[in-house]
Amino acid sequence: MKDIYDIVVVGAGPAGLMVAKEMAAAGQDVLLVDIKKDIPLINRSCCTMLINEPNTHGETVHIVDNNLHFEKTGFTVKYSGQFVKLVKSSRLSPGGYKLTMANEKEGVAHPYTKEVILRDLLQEAVQNGVDILTETAGIKAENINGGVKVYLRSSHSRFLKEVRCKIAFAADGVNSQITRGLKLAKQRKYFGSYRVASYFLDEVDYPYWDSWITCVGKGHTQLGRGQIYMVPKYLPNAKPGDKPILDVFCGSPIGVPSKQSLDWCLQEGPFNEWFHNAKIVHKAACVLNFYTCIMNPVEGNIVVVGDAASFIETYCQSALVYGYRAAQAALKQLDTGKGYEDYSTFWRESFEYCWPGEIEKALQGFGLHMISDEELDYIFSLTDKEEYFGYVSENTAPRVMKEAIMSHIDQIKKERPETAKTIEKHWQSSAEDIVQA
Ligand SMILES: Cc1cc2nc3c(=O)[nH]c(=O)nc-3n(C[C@H](O)[C@H](O)[C@H](O)COP(=O)(O)OP(=O)(O)OC[C@H]3O[C@@H](n4cnc5c(N)ncnc54)[C@H](O)[C@@H]3O)c2cc1C
């Protein structure tokens, strides 16, 4: 490692790898730093579904020749792995009733393999001449004399190293250490934290290989707090014709053990018979801190990209888009002295969670588990045989769910007036109420 680079990127997820490879392709001398030893190896839970709904975070992504093509921004990312086409996304009550969004033609989402896309991006970054430093944490970035000083710490040393650059990118994910030291993070509001545990399971007797399943209701977990998700996807070494595995997740508020909840769900939950012969082939976990977005993701010459600037997540696909856009803006800045604003404006205009009311709307979609299991079984029994057009999307699925449930509200008012009141009250819940519940 040298003491001076043109560019330092902290974090080698989709956002950081994209920034690093693009900046190096344009002739910049780039250092990419990650705390991990093996960059593509995934220990952090991620469903990794490609959200194919047009206009997701201002971009429409298509699978073209097995690669990811970003129609509006106009670039393609190589992907040498497999996709699963899911045509349904179902919310499942503890009694087994469903609320289903379907899209047979385009699919509701296409899970892919994060390890493969990171491997492909890393290979390009190395080919473009990026210096890679693993097992090293970015601790702090400081604007100095028209450039940036970045403090790093190797996993093998107590001492900080300093590296100087013209521009530093904070791409160190949702719990970003780098942004914590910046003034721009002071305007963020904190809602709460979540823990996720997940397993890749083989030999599962799963009836929904064409669906993303979200288990809604207290009865799915031992302590009645948290949410279970199930996503069919391929292992990193899968070949065409192989069988997908099932990635099963449990997310719970801090204080509720997510791994214990996941184990209980698999062994004793309402659908435990699907997992009697299941074999765990990989484990992952993560902590998610819920903050409002950084509205202006540039401070001096420090640029914040991907989840580091976002509420919950940008998705891998949008981390790639924001990484690409941030790199183009930084190159323009180096060239003309005016470029960052292009990126900041695109971020604010395209990332839905920057818009008023979007956080509340999305959380209402997650927050149906606040309604009692018995009421959920009743509500989903009304939607069980129906399918509503939609996609897997944090931003639009809550509206589809709301419309689906509200289309039965007259019947609910007649048959279960108290449940009707609970439902109507649910749509008024605040973000804090839902995260805490
Ligand atoms: C439960 C769950 C489900 C999800 N489902 C989906 C989905 O279906 N589809 C989808 O597209 N996305 C999904 N996501 C979101 C997706 O994982 C992120 O949006 C995406 O990975 C963001 O990319 P990023 O590069 O900004 O951050 P990350 O992928 O988090 O990468 C950050 C990198 O920085 C490194 N790092 C962290 N701190 C430091 C430090 N101090 N110094 C150096 N390196 C550091 C990390 O090791 C990591 O490599 C999900 C996330 C979760 C938690």
- 245 pocket-lining for ligand 1 (C-beta < 6 Å): no
- The residue whose CB lies within 8 Å of the most ligand 1 atoms, and thus the one to mutate among 122, 150, 315, is 315
* Residue with CA at minimum distance from ligand 1 atom 35: 11
- 108 pocket-lining for ligand 1 (C-beta < 6 Å): no
Q: Where are the domains of the chain?
A: 7-48+113-189+292-354, 88-109+191-290, 358-436
> Which atom of ligand 1 is nearest the CA belonging to 39?
49
Task: Give the pLDDT confidence score for residue 373 in this predicted structure.
Answer: 94
Please tell me the distance between residue 336's alpha carbon and the centre of ligand 1 in angstroms: 32
- The residue whose CB lies within 8 Å of the most ligand 1 atoms, and thus the one to mutate among 70, 132, 140, 172, is 172
Prediction pTM value: 0.96
Average pLDDT, the chain: 94
- 46 pocket-lining for ligand 1 (C-beta < 6 Å): yes
- 68 pocket-lining for ligand 1 (C-beta < 6 Å): no
- 111 pocket-lining for ligand 1 (C-beta < 6 Å): no
Please tell me the distance between residue 173's alpha carbon and the centre of ligand 1 in angstroms: 5
Of 388, 384, 382, which Cα lies nearest the Cα of 413? Answer: 382
Please tell me the distance between residue 61's alpha carbon and the centre of ligand 1 in angstroms: 19
Task: Give the pLDDT confidence score for residue 10 in this predicted structure.
Answer: 98
- The reply to whether 7-48+113-189+292-354 and 88-109+191-290 are identical in fold is no
User: Tokens for 282?
Assistant: 């990989």
Task: Give the pLDDT confidence score for residue 99 in this predicted structure.
Answer: 96
- 196 pocket-lining for ligand 1 (C-beta < 6 Å): yes
Tell me the per-residue pLDDT of 231-262, one tens digit each, with 9 for 90 and over. Answer: 999 999 999 899 999 999 999 988 889 999 99
- 226 pocket-lining for ligand 1 (C-beta < 6 Å): no
Task: Give the pLDDT confidence score for residue 425 in this predicted structure.
Answer: 83
CATH dotted code for 88-109+191-290: 3.30.9.10
- 48 pocket-lining for ligand 1 (C-beta < 6 Å): yes
What fold characterizes domain 7-48+113-189+292-354? Answer: FAD/NAD(P)-binding domain (3.50.50)
* Residue with CA at minimum distance from ligand 1 atom 21: 316
> Which atom of ligand 1 is nearest the CA belonging to 196?
1
* Residue with CA at minimum distance from ligand 1 atom 13: 315
Task: Give the pLDDT confidence score for residue 141 in this predicted structure.
Answer: 98
- 358 pocket-lining for ligand 1 (C-beta < 6 Å): no
- 354 pocket-lining for ligand 1 (C-beta < 6 Å): no
Please tell me the distance between residue 174's alpha carbon and the centre of ligand 1 in angstroms: 7
- 9 pocket-lining for ligand 1 (C-beta < 6 Å): no
- Which residues in the chain land under pLDDT 70? 366-367, 369, 434-437
